[in-house]
Amino acid sequence: MVEINLFGGGSFFRGVSEGLGGKHANGGAFGIRVTENFWKYVGLEQGFTYSVNNMQFQSPARAGDPRYAFGSRLFQYSLNPVFHFTPKGSNVRPYVTAGVSALDWRPTDRAQAISKLPENARFAATQVRSNLQAGINYGGGVKMHLTDHIGLRFDARAITSRFPTYGLPDTASAAGVYIVPRKLFTGMQTTAGINFYLGRKYVPPPPTPPAPQALGELNAGRLDAGSGTLCQGRAITIRSVGASDPAGRQMTYKWKVNGQPMGGNSPELQFTPDRAGQYMVELDVEAPNTDGMPIRTAKASTLSLNVQEYKAPTIAGCTAIPAQLAYGQQAKLSAQATGSPCSEIRFKWTATEGTVTNDTMANAGFDTKSVRFEQGGKIQSKTVTVTGTVTDDRGATASCTTSVKVDYTPESIRFSDLIFSKGSARVNNCAKRILLEEVAAKAADPDYEIVLVGHYDQDEAGTARRASTLDRQRVMNAIAVLTAGTGTCARVDASRIKADWVGTEQKSNFQPGVCGTSARTATDERAGSRVSTADQNRRVEIWLVPKGIKTPDAFGSAKEVPASDLKKLGCPR
């Protein structure tokens, strides 16, 4: 209950930097503390400390004088609450504390006598006397029990107070030493000592034992099958909740399902129903005969279970809208899938070709862009089978299919325009390269027709010889290069070539095929046959058009050229 601490150590104080710089020298400290432990973690402490801290000035009062000093003792009285981190009775008790102190600074008798000597009058310190200051102290430490009545204590705490004036002047003068008043300073006391404990060792009271339980009725509790749907072919767990024996005996559990014993001696029963319908679950609880007590039994309320039938999933109504579409278009897929309360279903679409988007949803999309067709000018069709499949969490599946017809129509191919010099129908070397190296090679595909459209420019009308037939002559010469089959000319079947000539009409955009560009290397031309992009209106358009599709708008009356007309031209040079 009560601690008496005898301690010793040191005290260390900082000085003040103003005036002559007063400073208390470090010295020994001794004292006694008495602590009353009123509460489990908190005590109230009174303490007295005696320490030797002589007073000295860091600077002389006048140049040439010695620094003034005198003996001083500190009598400190403190009152502190102490806050422990462990309860009373613990072998080790760390703590923190903060409280108030009265600091009585007393010059020694010898110091007072010396100050009155005539030779010390020049210091103006003849009235050196005691000075009482209020302060605060704060810190912490640890207490350790050695026995029930003796222990060790280590303590470190700081002190903050006003600097004592000792009755000296408080301003500078020619008279001598002085102390600037009302200046705060701090110190530190570190001590160690012996603790003496008075009274009996504190022992926490034992917990109150539970009152003896009266022998009551055996309780079988209630039966709980949890939440959720109960399903055929899926395990069901029933638990006994709240079963107890007031006498604390080991209980025996006996389960029945539809009147038949099932399960083991456990507060939990698990069984798997093999059919749908009602199931009645019963539980009897028995406490054995021990210590002369009778055997007791209890019965829980019967639990009725409604088990749902498991059904395999079904799927119907697989459709694709539209069911026929052009290559590059998309169709919408849909189906109706059903499961049962006793299963979870997953959906999946697949296709023999093409791509299904959102393929795990009942409503999906079919994209024809990845359906494969033969390359060339042939019009083609494919029928793709799309399958919708539903699978439940037990592995059962169902499927339905639908068909999508995809039509592929190849696009027309346009080559670079053949460019002619003003007033001329001669096919120059650059144009021949386009006809022989590019057009003739592509024309090998029999599913394409070759269409040529001739033009002449406004500045050629009425000035050039045969201006009204210049567009036709240009087309005929180009066809002869493709079909003559002699000299440097190609041997393309003339029956696959159609032609039109439209004069100055320029419906389609210009695509001049000029050599000496980044697309084609330069080709030497006969003088007067050189052309540039400035001649782009003097041209012949060249198209490869798949058979059976609409011809481009640039020509509407293309027709075959009589073989007799071509024969007259031969292979143009």
| Domains located in the chain, CATH noted | 2-198 (2.40.160.20), 222-307 (2.60.40.10), 314-408 (2.60.40.1080), 413-569 (3.30.1330.60)
- Residue 15 confidence (pLDDT): 87
Could you give the CA distance from residue 221 to residue 258 in angstroms, rounded to a whole number? 20
More confident residue, 215 or 242: 242
Q: Does 248 have pLDDT greater than 80?
A: no
3-state secondary structure of 87: coil
Residues in the chain: 573
pLDDT at residue 212 is higher than 60: no
| pLDDT tens-digit map of 321-332 | 999 999 999 999
Residue 109 has pLDDT above 90, yes or no: no
Sheet hosting strand 380-392, strand order edge to edge = 324-326, 397-408, 380-392, 345-351
* Cα–Cα distance measured from residue 19 to residue 57, given in angstroms and rounded to the nearest whole number: 9
Taking residues 256-285, what's their average pLDDT?
A: 90
Average pLDDT over residues 246-255: 84
Q: What is the pLDDT of residue 211?
A: 44
Q: Cβ distance 190 to 158 under 8 Å?
A: no
CB 345 within 8 A of CB 392: yes
For residues 277 and 307, give the distance between their C-alpha atoms in angstroms, rounded to a whole number. Answer: 5
Q: How many CA atoms lie within 13 A of 106 on its CB side?
A: 12
Tokens of 402: 């639908």
Mean pLDDT of 148-171: 90
Measured distance CA(93)–CA(80) in Å, rounded:
17
- Model confidence at 105, in pLDDT bands (50, 70, 90)? very high
3-state helix, strand, coil in the chain (%, to 5): 10, 45, 45
pLDDT in tens, 14-40: 988 888 888 899 999 999 999 998 889
User: Can you point out the beta strands (E) in 129-221?
Assistant: 131-145, 150-162, 184-198
**What does the pLDDT read at residue 87?**
92
Per-residue pLDDT band for 289 (boundaries 50, 70, 90) equals confident
Q: What is the pLDDT of residues 476-499, one digit of tens each?
A: 999 999 998 888 899 998 888 999
In 199-338 the beta strands, taken as DSSP E runs, fall at 222-224, 236-241, 252-257, 260-262, 268-271, 277-287, 296-299, 303-307, 314-321, 324-326, 330-338
pLDDT, residue 313, reads 93
Cα-to-chain-centroid distance, residue 71: 71
Separation of alpha carbons 229 and 305, rounded Å = 10
Q: Is the pLDDT of residue 333 over 90?
A: yes
Among candidate residues 244, 240, 219, the one with its CA nearest the CA of residue 298: 219
Residue 245 clears pLDDT 90, i.e. is over it: no
- Evaluate if residue 442 carries a pLDDT over 90: no
What's the rounded Cα separation, in Å, for the pair 341 and 477? Answer: 80
**162 — pLDDT class (breaks 50, 70, 90):** very high
Structure tokens at 90: 């613990």
Give yes or no for residue 215 having a pLDDT over 60: no
Quote the pLDDT of residue 293.
Answer: 67
- Residue 198's pLDDT band (boundaries 50, 70, 90)? confident
Q: Please give the Cα distance from 33 to 154 (Å, whole number).
A: 12
Contact 386, 380 (CB under 8 A): no
pLDDT score of 566: 83
Residue 449: closest CA among 407, 484, 499? 499
Q: How far is CA 268 from the centre of its chain?
A: 42
Q: What distance in Å separates the CA atoms of residue 445 and residue 73, rounded to the nearest whole number? A: 123
Q: What share of the chain has pLDDT > 90, as a percent?
A: 44
Whether residue 217 has pLDDT greater than 50? yes
pLDDT digits (tens, 9 = 90+) for 336-357: 998 888 888 999 999 999 999 9
Q: Does residue 453 contact residue 500 with C-beta atoms inside 8 Å?
A: yes
